[in-house]
Structure 1
Amino acid sequence: MTAIGCIDDSTVHSPDVSDSEDISEDTPSFDSQPISSASIDPQLTAANTKFAVKLFSQIYREQSDRNILISPASVAFALAMTYNGASGETQAAMARTLELQEMSIEEVNNAYEALKSTLENLDENVQLAIANALWANLGIDFNAKFLNDTQKFYQAEVTEIDFDRANAPATINNWVKQNTKGKIDSIIDRIPPDTILFLINAIYFKGDWSKPFEREATTEQTFTSINGNQKQHPLMSQTGDYQYLENKLFQGVSLPYGNGQFSFYIFLPKEDIKLSQVVDGLNDLSWETWMSEFILKPGSVRVPKFELEYEIVLNETLKTLGMKVVFDRDRANFSKIRTSPPNLAIDRVKHKTFIEVNEQGTEAAASTSVGVVATSAREIQEPFNMVVDRPFLCAIRENRTGTIVFMGSIVDP
């Protein structure tokens, strides 16, 4: 076991928390070249898709009457780092929830390293930055392998600060703000007295449409919200050729960014179908089926402009999905984080997101915090018309790896 200050001094930081705004905006530089999707373990991409759809589906069951936006990728990165510290029953529960049962921890880490590099280097017209950090309480000894693995495979910045200082939350929040380009200004609102560690992920996405919407074509249209109320809302309008899917439940369209590696997917329930019926039919198998059935087709789309901020504490959701033990201070086993007493458990998993969709493109950001506490061939097609004027399901997906970066349901833009 090694004190945190002895782990690779080039990536261990001890900022002066007396002035949190003075933290450098520089991010660590790594000699990572783009990695082909062939080198990414397909087991991880499949696991991430399963986790993404069941995480969103569970949150929707809890909050179907409100706008929802999550970044499954952000939650997965944060929990994967934490997974490195788990043992026994705790590790097994996390593996089941994250759908990693068939992968060794070495395979998981290598796959996440490849995935991060791939996602960040696919399209020069799309900004996708994934940042990870481990914030450790001053003077705590941590397992050297745990720290080294988070640095090596997740390029996590490891920073030691005094959690007892009043402005320690501001120091951590400033890192989040910097790594989301100011779109999320805080993730930590309190530090419980027994907290020894925060594992945090931040994702920033900014993509211009491959074909921008003309501002002059945006008009006020009637949008009917989930409760049946109607309001006037700006809908962007465009015609062209799109990847399109229509079935008995919904119309679906894929709006590409940049060179087409990333797309914004919209699933609009049919007039006589509720959004809940679409979500009820959502699972990893149906999602992959939907993705395979999109075809290029001419048509017209009208899409709402909207801006949304969302936050959720994921404790109860993750417990429902099988991770109850990680929050149990009597049973949780994170002995790979710190091998000496006291025992450790997860106190809170907090998630925040932001998205803005307009004529130019989409800007989105997410942050996830895991707080660890001590316990003791094309044919001619008829044009389609798709007017998104009622609640809909949406996602930002990377099309090569299938990574769901964001997923949400908009019931009242």
Structure 2
Amino acid sequence: MKRALYLCLLLLGLQVQGERKSNLDNEQQQQKIPHSPEDHSHTEGENSAHVKIAPSNVDFAFRFYKQVREEAGNKNIFFSPLSISTAFAMLSLGARSNTLSQLHKGLAFNLTEMEEQEIHEGFQRVLQLLNDPHREVQLSMGNALFVDDRLKVLQKFSDDVTNFYYSEAISSNFQNSSKATKEINNYIETKTHGKIVDLLQSLGPGTVMVLVNYIFFKGYWETPFNELNTRDDDFWLNAKNSVKVKMMHQNKHFNIHRDEKFSCWVVEIPYKGNAVALFVLPDEGTMKQVEDALIKETVSNWMQSLEKRKIYLDLPKFSISAFYDIKSLLEKMGVTEVFSDQADLSGVAGKTGLTVSKAIHKAVVDVRENGTEAAAATVVELMLMSAGPASPPPLHIKFNRSFLMMIIDKTTLNILFMGKIVNPVAKED
């Protein structure tokens, strides 16, 4: 009988409210993830675990973006690279031989530069930092492993998932598929505060394990947009066609950068706390050029070149979603064996012949006057075999055409979410 293993990864941010309310204390305590104050991260140095894995996670983010772009056509793009990296890093704990090597390479980890142990210690540290209750940006991340009584999970895999990823074990009866599906969906709905409902429609035949990972993000702009200044405006889909959007407006000092080489404006909008949103506006007709330039060195240069300057900023309110077949995308990125009959996942439950048969990802983002709401979900199923003179008025940067967006957590140095907004009012799923 075929056996299947699902991994489900969720990233979530709740709707931003006018006043900050913290009702997450109990949930964060339930996660039982050790943490240290946020500012400790600044003194850990370049050799700290999360700093070592950050370049690989950023590399993966941009590689994956470029793969998605090839198939997205003229649709919005939005996903959580940290979600996908974490899911497959966890899976790699049970991978062996060439399957493991392909996963490392696909996730942009070079074992000549760091040891395998350091990869998992890096994600362990990311979890600790994201779950720090002292942060002004509210973030929490956790994992759960739903295991059928029939599956004998190896003790080492169970210990490693618990140690590095703080996964809680939940016993389930997958022979009662509808009950198990409801149990998992209820867990996900609770952890995401009702933002992701009925993610799993059903469980495949022989499913014996489901792994759930979620991240909660709730960010408030350091300086909110005034709702009274939001007005209807045109957002141009191309040279001839436009749609009406609610355009937010601010007239203040922002960190900005003009990249003449790649013909784009970069605007950083800070959240309260140690996270920022980076908005990139290519000049007309230069989006592909900017996308091609997306590597960690380019973005690092943007971040280092930011200068505070007073501007007129127009940014649309938008709420978009996107859905991806991760299996197909990763196969095109060279991660093939884990999805085949040659997969070696013997570190999970011995020689049971598990293979990944399905991997999907869903992400949602909502940007408004007070801040940002973002959510994402990944499901993986495994089965058996230029500043001018000072005198002119402030520069006007108007995001009224396709632009890029990244939500960056400066504490862990990770890109939590990224995407391309082509049509702010499109309802894609």
Assess same fold via TM > 0.5: yes
Q: CA separation in 1, counterparts of 2:170 and 2:58?
A: 31
- Identity value in percent: 28
Aligned to 2:56: 47
Does the CA contact (< 8 Å) of 1:254 and 1:265 recur in 2?
yes
Deviations 1:202-233 (A, max 9, x none): 12211110000000010111111258421221
Is 1:214 the counterpart of 2:226 in the alignment?
yes
1:313: how far off?
Answer: 2.0
Among 107, 110, 134, the alignment partner of 2:118 is 107
Aligned to 2:158: 147
Is 1:167 the counterpart of 2:179 in the alignment?
yes
Aligned to 1:270: 283
Alignment partner of 1:93: what SS? helix
Does the CA contact (< 8 Å) of 1:226 and 1:412 recur in 2?
no
Aligned to 2:11: none
Aligned to 2:74: 65
1:385: how far off?
Answer: 1.4
Regions of 4+ moved over 4 Å: 378-382
Aligned to 2:95: 86
Deviations 1:54-76 (A, max 9, x none): 11121111103111110111111
Does the CA contact (< 8 Å) of 2:142 and 2:167 recur in 1?
yes
Aligned to 1:33: 36
TM-score, length basis structure 2 = 0.84
Does the CA contact (< 8 Å) of 1:197 and 1:371 recur in 2?
no
Is 1:325 the counterpart of 2:352 in the alignment?
no
CA change 1:80–1:53 in 2 (3 A) is same
Moved more, 93-102 or 161-170: 161-170
User: 1:291-370 counterparts in 2 under 5 A?
Assistant: 291-329=303-341, 331-339=342-350, 341-370=351-380
1:123: how far off?
Answer: 5.8
Alignment partner of 2:204: what SS? coil
User: What RMSD over aligned residues (CA atoms) do the two structures have, in Å?
Assistant: 2.2
Among 156, 159, 165, the alignment partner of 2:167 is 156
Q: CA separation in 1, counterparts of 2:30 and 2:380?
A: 21
Does the CA contact (< 8 Å) of 1:86 and 1:336 recur in 2?
yes
CA change 1:311–1:155 in 2 (3 A) is same
Aligned to 1:76: 85
Does the CA contact (< 8 Å) of 1:86 and 1:334 recur in 2?
yes
Aligned to 1:252: 266
Moved more, 136-145 or 388-397: 136-145
Match for 1:354: what amino acid? V
Match for 1:157: what amino acid? E
User: 1:128-139 counterparts in 2 under 5 A?
Assistant: 128-139=139-150
Q: CA separation in 1, counterparts of 2:215 and 2:240?
A: 34
Match for 2:272: what amino acid? G
Runs of at least 5 residues in structure 1 that lack an aligned partner in the other structure = 1-23
CA change 1:137–1:373 in 2 (3 A) is farther
Does the CA contact (< 8 Å) of 2:236 and 2:401 recur in 1?
yes
Is 1:203 the counterpart of 2:212 in the alignment?
no
1:188: how far off?
Answer: 2.1
Does the CA contact (< 8 Å) of 2:79 and 2:363 recur in 1?
yes
Match for 1:323: what amino acid? V
Aligned residues: 384
Deviations 1:75-115 (A, max 9, x none): 11111110100000000000001112223221111111111
Does the CA contact (< 8 Å) of 2:271 and 2:371 recur in 1?
yes
Q: CA separation in 2, counterparts of 1:169 and 1:226?
A: 43
CA change 1:226–1:197 in 2 (3 A) is farther
Moved more, 163-172 or 200-209: 163-172
1:187: how far off?
Answer: 3.0
Alignment partner of 2:336: what SS? helix
1:125: how far off?
Answer: 2.7
Alignment partner of 1:352: what SS? strand
Q: CA separation in 2, counterparts of 1:41 and 1:386?
A: 35
Deviations 1:351-375 (A, max 9, x none): 1222111111111122222222222
Aligned to 1:402: 413
Q: CA separation in 2, counterparts of 1:227 and 1:122?
A: 47
Match for 1:283: what amino acid? I
TM-score, length basis structure 1 = 0.87
Among 128, 147, 153, the alignment partner of 1:117 is 128
Aligned to 2:15: none
Higher relative contact order at CA 8 Å, sep ≥6: structure 1 or structure 2? 2
1:294: how far off?
Answer: 1.7
Deviations 1:15-36 (A, max 9, x none): xxxxxxxxx9783323432352
1:41: how far off?
Answer: 4.2
Q: CA separation in 1, counterparts of 2:229 and 2:184?
A: 42
Q: CA separation in 1, counterparts of 2:323 and 2:181?
A: 17
Aligned to 1:372: 382
Moved more, 79-88 or 26-35: 26-35
Deviations 1:330-361 (A, max 9, x none): x100111011x321111222212221111111
